[in-house]
Amino acid sequence: MYQYDKYDQSIVDARVEEFRDQVKRRLAGEITEDQFKPLRLMNGLYLQLHAYMLRVAVPYGTLSGPQMHMLAHIARKYDRGYGHFTTRQNIQYNWIKLDECPDILAELATVEMHAIQTSGNCIRNISSDQYAGAAADEVADPRPWAELLRQWSTFHPEFTYLPRKFKIAVIAADEDRAAMRLHDIGIQLVKKDGVLGGRIFVGGGMGRTPMIAPEIKNFVTADDLLSYVEACLRVYNRYGRRDNIYKARIKILIHEIGADEYRRQVEEEFVAVKALGIDPPQAEFDRITAFFAPPAFDAGASDAIDRTDPDFAVWLDQNVKPHKQPGYAIVNISLKKTGDIPGDASADQIDVMADLATKYSFDELRVTHAQNIVLPHVAVRDLPEVWRTLDAAGLAAANLDLITDIIACPGLDYCSLANARSIPVAQKIASRFADQGRQRDLGELKLKISGCINACGHHHAGHIGILGVDKKGTENYQLLLGGSGAEDASLGKITGPGFDEDGIVDAVEKVTNVYLGVRADGERFLDTYRRVGMEPFKEALYG
Amino acid sequence: MGDLLRYRDDAAHEEPAVTLDAFLGASNATAVRIEPGEDARALLPHLDRIALVEVAFPAYRDGRGYSTARVLREAGYTGELRAEGDVLVDQVPLMRRCGFDSFAPRAEIDSATLKASLERYEFVYQGAADGAVPVWKLRHG
């Protein structure tokens, strides 16, 4: 994985000192909270319901064992012994003290980590496919492109006060594991006549006006990437709406002027920008790419595996995915054990995962947008030991992509924007469907819960989505069906009137029963919904 | 009103800036003020007779002026480029990178804080309008 040189380290160290100075000025009353807000947000520090929340960047979701250990250390020393992995492949801490924040950043900097641009109206942490470098279906590792974008976007002087936040994802396979088209810019790497380039999609997003990004450019090579993306951003910075915070994302601009007109403006801007010489040479791309070379796999490793332990076999079938290297596998660690808070991990669990990465996965881990953790490169022969260790730590829930593998935002338990709680709803649904046989029978079923219309829990992209709203002072939950954040991206539709907290759990059960009754062979819930439409589900819910 | 901060050797341009409409309406003004929603490219045919462009920042959150500055510098404008309005100390380094070389902040900017802020980062990742050498160039010569 990428390693800092003296330049990267110098920039991150300078950031720690800058933020220390900003906090000092705030605590001394030299700047107002209103003036401090954009500064702290640019460093991932939010003021939540009960305390400050700090979001630490995990660039494109990749981190090392020592970095993971540092996350555990911070949870122990500065928080309440746990952290929350997010849908942006980051981690956030919910109980942070403002005056300790500079020290946390200083500790992070010792392992090449930071909280730069994890919030604010700027270019956020770049996200990517959690199986990058391990998946058999990728045309290339997308992470060198993501790292190129990370460096370019870090403290970009022109794009730090954009109309609204800006999220970029890079993938390199037809199967979209990163919800790429629900980003402000989504890039899919493809090969054309043997040359690697990116398809550029712009203007996707969730929030209160969800949109799937249209393709703006069908092929951009690495040596034009930064100029092209800079042109995309400049058009947005100049013409994105600033009169209404809810209409300020780039998706609204593109919706209002049309993809063709936006493309025309970008192409025009690209001509001007390309002449500036802002694209690094091939040597820099090669330097970055070298960090992502495949690890030293054992070429003779065997795929043989003893499946006699039934619990192990279930976990193997559900959470372990094929690797491009024979004799290796991709291990998904579910942070969705029934009763737990989706995405939360204790400091001890984080340490366990870090140690496993060091010992069994070439010192590498990934955070997924579904709030799980991946050990990307595990030898098949080590799977039983990895599973036993995970099981002992409460990390062996065998529910990847099943109905209890729920994405949920922090909701009203933590978040100052939320209208309703998400976590208790997730826990109740997980309990209802806790039976392993039952959830496996339901098959792939992505259930996503947001506690408000901002959609941090990706409810629009859930096969089943749940949106918490405030209805005359009480929490109410709307049900959506048919969303997808994958390569078949679609937006869920609301079934009808909402439900109370227990009612929504019953409603989820009813729609899954409809599915079980009418599904054809091999159909997932989503496939059945697409075939039969909303009516049978509505009938069961409201009939 | 804070003091005018200048990073130029020439004398400050004294002529008051006129609106973009007034400037384009065949005026012989040499100083023009650009509001956030206005297109700086309208000035490009006239750059050789402009001595001062004042870019308005009515609220610090509105970042359109950063692009305005870059568009003008990229087109070869070498006159004074002034950020006026809600300009805060932590924004000055970014504005300098976008090509601003003078600042008329609404509120006083503490000079010691500003100095530290401008000197804090030894390296930058990306090329912009200030001539700072991006690290990729330092890495590869």
What confidence score (pLDDT) does residue A416 get? 86
Our measurement of the distance from residue A362's CA atom to the centroid of its chain's CA atoms, rounded to an integer in Å, reads 22
Closest chain A residue to B75, measured at CA: A272
**Model confidence at A51, in pLDDT bands (50, 70, 90)?**
confident
Q: Give CA–CA dist A273/B8, Å, rounded.
A: 26
Q: What is the pLDDT of residues A118-147, one digit of tens each?
A: 999 999 999 999 999 999 999 999 999 999
Q: Where do the structural domains in chain A lie, given as residue ranges?
A: 6-109, 134-289, 310-392, 407-542
What confidence score (pLDDT) does residue B28 get? 87
Phi and psi for A113 in degrees, rounded to 5?
-130, 165
CB contact under 8 A, A39 and B122: no
Tell me the CATH number for domain A6-109: 3.90.480.20
Let me know: does A447 contact A457? Beta carbons within 8 Å.
Answer: no
When pLDDT is averaged across residues A494-509 and rounded to a whole number, the result is 97
Closest CB to B122 among A14, A278, A283:
A14
What confidence score (pLDDT) does residue A50 get? 81
Q: Average model confidence (pLDDT) for chain A?
A: 96
For the segment(s) A310-392, the CATH number from 3.40.50.1370, 3.40.50.2000, 3.30.70.3340, 1.10.150.120 is: 3.30.70.3340
CB contact under 8 A, B126 and A152: yes
Q: What is the pLDDT of residues A201-254, one digit of tens each?
A: 999 999 889 999 999 999 999 999 999 999 999 999 999 999 999 999 999 999
**Model confidence at B1, in pLDDT bands (50, 70, 90)?**
confident
Closest chain A residue to B94, measured at CA: A157
* pLDDT at B68 exceeding the cut of 90: yes
Q: Where do the structural domains in chain B lie, given as residue ranges?
A: 5-140
**Cα torsion for B92, B97, B101, B107, to the nearest 10°?**
-10
Tell me the CATH number for domain A134-289: 3.30.413.10
**B5-140 has which fold?**
Rossmann fold (3.40.50)
CB contact under 8 A, A278 and B66: no
- Residues in chain A, total: 543
This model of the complex carries an ipTM of 0.97
**Fold match flag (A134-289 vs A407-542):** yes
Strand order in the sheet with A45-47: A45-47, A52-56, A91-96, A82-85, A344-346
What confidence score (pLDDT) does residue A529 get? 98
For the segment(s) A407-542, the CATH number from 3.30.70.360, 3.40.1190.20, 3.40.50.2300, 3.30.413.10 is: 3.30.413.10
Q: Which of A3, A17, A40, A158 should we substitute to test contact with B (largest number of B Cβ atoms within 10 Å)?
A: A158
Q: What is the pLDDT of residues A416-441, one digit of tens each?
A: 899 999 999 999 999 999 999 999 99
What confidence score (pLDDT) does residue A540 get? 97
* pLDDT at B130 exceeding the cut of 90: yes
- Residue A520, phi-psi category: left (phi > 0), alpha (psi -120 to 50), beta (remainder): beta
Q: Which residues of B116-128 are buried (b: 16+ CB within 10 A; e: fewer)?
A: ebeeebebbbbbb
**Cα torsion for A313, A314, A320, A323, to the nearest 10°?**
50
Closest CB to B88 among A11, A35, A226:
A35
**Model confidence at B110, in pLDDT bands (50, 70, 90)?**
very high
**Model confidence at A49, in pLDDT bands (50, 70, 90)?**
confident
Opening angle at CA A385, ends A2 and A353, nearest 5: 40
Q: What is the pLDDT of residues A321-338, one digit of tens each?
A: 999 999 999 999 999 999
